[in-house]
Amino acid sequence: MAAREVIVVGAGVVGLSVALEAQARGLSVRVIDREGPAAGASAGNAGAFAFSDILPLASPRIIRQAPKWLLDPLGPLSIRPAYALRILPWMWRFWRASWPAQVRASTAAQTEMMRVSQATLEPFLDRAGLANMLRRDGQLQVYEGEREFRASLPGWQARENEGIAFRHLKGEEIADLQPGLSPRFTHATFTPGWQSIADPKDYTLALAERFRAGGGEIEIAEAEALVPGGVKTSAGERAGQVVLAAGAYSHRLARTAGVRIPLETERGYNTTLPAGAFDLRMQVTFGGHGFVISRLSSGLRVGGAVELGGLDLPPNYARADAMLKKAAEFLPGLDISGGTQWMGFRPSLPDTLPAIGPLPGRPDVICAFGHGHLGLTQSTGTAALVADLLTGQAPAIDLTPFSPGRFS
């Protein structure tokens, strides 16, 4: 039986996508957020629908590279010293998730999630009247030398096994696609099916507008606790079927219902430069350095990397400066003046898979969080799956690997 009223906690891209999809299926929906639409990670991401990113962050390759990266406080992966002891239980789970059998299972589940997300994206955008914001520029991953390129090949084989199209390039072939790259990048891989959004903040705000136009209400209030039959907020209690899509804050609300979920924050940093800073043709990924540069309608965004530091420590914008300095070396013609810095929290679970499904012991609470750096990518797929659960339909994929209770 369909829920009569739905309360979505979280006005990021996942929460608003769920709200719009539920609304389209005839449900009455209210969204609650402490700051309003696009106030968190949905505003500052790279704007990519990374459907080819089926490989989990937890993997033997990352475990091998992690010691070297962790020695560099400004490198692709870092842990703030003040947070190191606190994160040990999460790191232990991350290590367990990197075992080969777990990696295979996570890759299979992530592939299914990507398929449903890719299949739902364009129909969702068409219904919302936002198809004009979708771009199909492709994506270029670049490598410094034969050794780094060879190390990437098992990942590309896994993608090829799933029917993902790509093309390996060398030398002038790279320059033909993206002029201006440093010659230190001798190899590259082009993914032609890569899609992106014109600007992630504008897109999320547009979702909010469409939701309101359909009769939905967005309430600015702090969600303080899950209570029987609803949620307690700073503006009072709200009754209904709850969808928990509060991003990096979701585990705090789950804890009010007695459920502990090992959610951590990938603190992401970026700098958005003016649009004319470089002739960027597509998103370029510098995998060995853990960051990307994206072409958005609002400018060129240089960002990425992973800093594990929780929600409360102050930002370390030296990380954004370090990425920008590298970008200037890698793209010698890049003008790095006039940029705007940003830091946001990406909600990350140890096995790289999101939590989608009922909260343990609370069938009136549906989880939709923990997407890490893939929130935009998996937003419409998550919306379709959650709407299926809300309306009593069988989801398009098996949700067992995404169960919020899998860490119990």
Q: In what order do the strands lie in the sheet with 236-239?
A: 223-227, 230-233, 236-239
* Residue 340 to residue 320: CA distance in whole angstroms: 10
Could you tell me if 6 and 27 are in contact, meaning their C-beta atoms sit under 8 angstroms apart?
Answer: yes
Q: In what helix (H) or strand (E) does residue 217 lie, and over which residues does it extend?
A: strand 217-220
173: in domain: no
129: in domain: yes
* Residue 357 to residue 366: CA distance in whole angstroms: 5
Q: In Å, what is the CA distance from 100 to each residue of 79, 105, 287?
A: 24, 9, 21
146: in domain: no
| 189 bridge partner residues | 141, 168
Report residue 341 as tokens.
């810095």
144: in domain: no
* Residue 17 to residue 195: CA distance in whole angstroms: 18
295: in domain: yes
Assign residue 108 the CATH number of its domain. Answer: 3.50.50.60
Domain coverage including residue 240: 5-138+193-402
The reported pTM is: 0.94
The tens-digit pLDDT sequence of the chain (408 residues) is 344 699 999 999 999 999 999 999 999 999 999 999 999 889 999 999 999 999 998 888 777 777 777 667 777 788 888 888 899 999 999 999 999 999 999 999 999 999 999 999 999 999 999 999 999 999 999 999 999 999 999 999 999 999 999 999 999 999 999 999 999 999 999 999 999 999 999 999 999 999 999 999 999 999 999 999 999 999 999 999 999 999 999 999 999 999 999 999 989 999 999 999 999 999 999 998 989 999 999 999 999 878 888 898 899 999 999 999 999 999 999 999 999 999 999 999 999 999 999 999 999 999 999 999 999 999 999 999 999 999 999 999 999 999 999 998
166: in domain: no
Residue 396, classed as helix, strand or coil, is coil
Report residue 393 as tokens.
């339909």
Could you tell me if 139 and 48 are in contact, meaning their C-beta atoms sit under 8 angstroms apart?
Answer: yes
- Per residue in 176-197, pLDDT (tens digit) is 999 999 999 999 999 999 999 9
183: in domain: no
Tell which residue, 233, 207, 232, has the closest CA to residue 221. Answer: 233
Could you tell me if 366 and 221 are in contact, meaning their C-beta atoms sit under 8 angstroms apart?
Answer: no
SS3 content of the chain, % helix, strand, coil (to 5): 40, 25, 35
Helix H segments across 273-394? Answer: 318-330, 379-390
> 């199909």: which residue's tokens?
136
Angle between helix 100-128 and helix 379-390 axes, rounded to 10 deg? 80
Q: What is the DSSP letter of 159?
A: H
Tell which residue, 43, 300, 338, has the closest CA to residue 178. Answer: 300
- Domain total of the chain: 1
Could you tell me if 330 and 280 are in contact, meaning their C-beta atoms sit under 8 angstroms apart?
Answer: no
45: in domain: yes
